[in-house]
Amino acid sequence: MNWMNAEETLRRAETPLFWVGAFTVASLALWLLYRLLSGFRIWVLGNGQLLSPKLGKWAVVTGATDGIGKSYAEELARRGFAMMLISRSQDKLDDVAKSLEDQFKVETKTIAVDFGKMDIYQKIEAGLAGLEIGVLVNNVGVSYAYPEYYLHIPDLDNFITNMINVNMTSVCQSKVLKSPFVICVFLRSKGVILNISSASGMYPLPLLTVYSASKAFVDFFSRGLQEEYRRHGIIIQSVLPFFVATKMTRIRKPTLDKPTPDRYVAAELATVGLQGQTNGYFPHAVMGWLTTKLVPINLVIFFGAQMNRQQRTGYLQRRKLREQRNGQRLKSE
C-alpha cells in the first residue's frame, strides 16, 4: 500500500516537475543567448560611430604624453577632434601636439600642469574656457615605483598626498567638471567622460594598496555619476584595464593579454555607450569575469599579494646589486 501511494505521488508530481525543469532550462538558454548577443554587440560590432566631433569640436585628454593617454589623443585626433592635451611636461606636450597636427591635420592646444599640486585648476579652467568640448578623458595617474608594504613606503605622507591629488582629485575636481565641460554638454545634452581606473580597483591589491584604493574610488565615483546624469544625455564610463604595455607597467613586449596602448584604446572606444563599467578589451573582460565571478575574492587577494611580494623582492635585490656596483666603481675611481 505504501509503495502504491509513493508511486501515485510521483506520478502526480511528474507534470509540475517537468514544467519546473523546462522553465529552468529555458531561462538558462535565454540568459546564455542574451549574454552571447550582448558580447557580440560589444566586442564584435562595437559602437565605433558614437565618438565623433558631432559631440563637440574638442576632446580633452589628461596625461596625454605617454602610454594610454597618448593613444587616446591619437585615436580621437584621427576621428577628427581638435585636441586639448594636458600633462606635466611642456616639451612633451609640444612634441605630441606637433605630431597630431602633422599626422591628422587637427587643431591642438596644451596646458602644462602638475596634477600632484592643488593650485592648477584655475589654469585648467581658463585654458578650457570657450571650447565646445565633446569628450573628456581623465587618464592622468601615478602608481608605485615598486610594490611595497604600506608603512615601508618611502616619504609616505607626500606619497599619499601626491597619489590622491593625481589619481582622485583630478577626476572629481569641480572646476573641471562644472566649468566649462559639463555646462557645455548639459546645454547640448551630449558628451562623453571616460575615467581611466584600473583592474587593480576591482578588488584590494596588497602592496599596491593606496593605488588600488584610489582606482576603486575612480570606479565607484564614475558609476555613481553616470546614474546621476544619465538622463542628461551624458555618458560617463569607468574604464578598468588590466596590464597594458606602457612605461608605467614596465612591460616592453606586448602579448594577447598585455596589448599595446593603441590596440587597447581602439578596443575600449568601441565599448563607449554600451558599457558603463568596462575592462575595455576582450581578453581583459574575460580576466575580469574570471576574477570577480568564478574565483573567491580571498584567493584573488592572496595571489595578488604573492605576485607583488615576488616583484618587491626582485626589485630590492636588483637595487642592492646596483648600489654595490656603484660603490665598487666609486672605490676603483
Distance of CA 141 to the CA centre of its chain: 10
- C-alpha 120/C-alpha 124 separation (Å) is 6
- Return phi, psi of residue 60, to 5°: -115, 130
Give strand pairing partners of 86.
62, 111
What crossing angle do the helices spanning 67-78 and 90-104 adopt, rounded to 10°? 30
Determine how many CB atoms are found less than 10 A away from the CB of residue 312: 18
Joined grid coordinates for residue 305: 599579494
3-class state of residue 66 by DSSP: coil
Measure CA of the first residue to CA of the last residue in the chain; give whole Å: 104
Task: Pinpoint the alpha helices (H) of 239-296.
Answer: 261-269, 282-289
Give strand pairing partners of 60.
84, 136
Determine how many CB atoms are found less than 10 A away from the CB of residue 331: 7
Helix (H) / strand (E) containing 87: strand 82-87
- Return phi, psi of residue 258, to 5°: -130, 75
Residue with cell 574638442: 58
pLDDT for 236 equals 92
pLDDT for 179 equals 46
- C-alpha 131/C-alpha 2 separation (Å) is 85
Joined grid coordinates for residue 51: 565618438
- C-alpha 191/C-alpha 183 separation (Å) is 10
Task: From 184, 223, 183, select the one nearest 201 (Cα to Cα).
Answer: 223
Given 72, 144, 146, 211, the catalytic residue? 211
Helix (H) / strand (E) containing 307: helix 297-332
In tens, the pLDDT along 205-220 reads 999 999 999 999 999 9
Residue with cell 591642438: 108
- Counting beta carbons within 10 angstroms of the beta carbon of residue 284, is it exposed (0 to 12), middle (13 to 18) or buried (19 or more)? buried
Joined grid coordinates for residue 220: 565607484
Residue 315 among the catalytic residues? no
Q: Which domains does the chain have, with CATH numbers?
A: 53-294 (3.40.50.720)
- For the chain, list residues with pLDDT below 50: 1, 179-180, 183, 186-187
Give strand pairing partners of 112.
87
In tens, the pLDDT along 151-188 reads 999 999 999 999 999 999 988 875 555 544 554 554 45
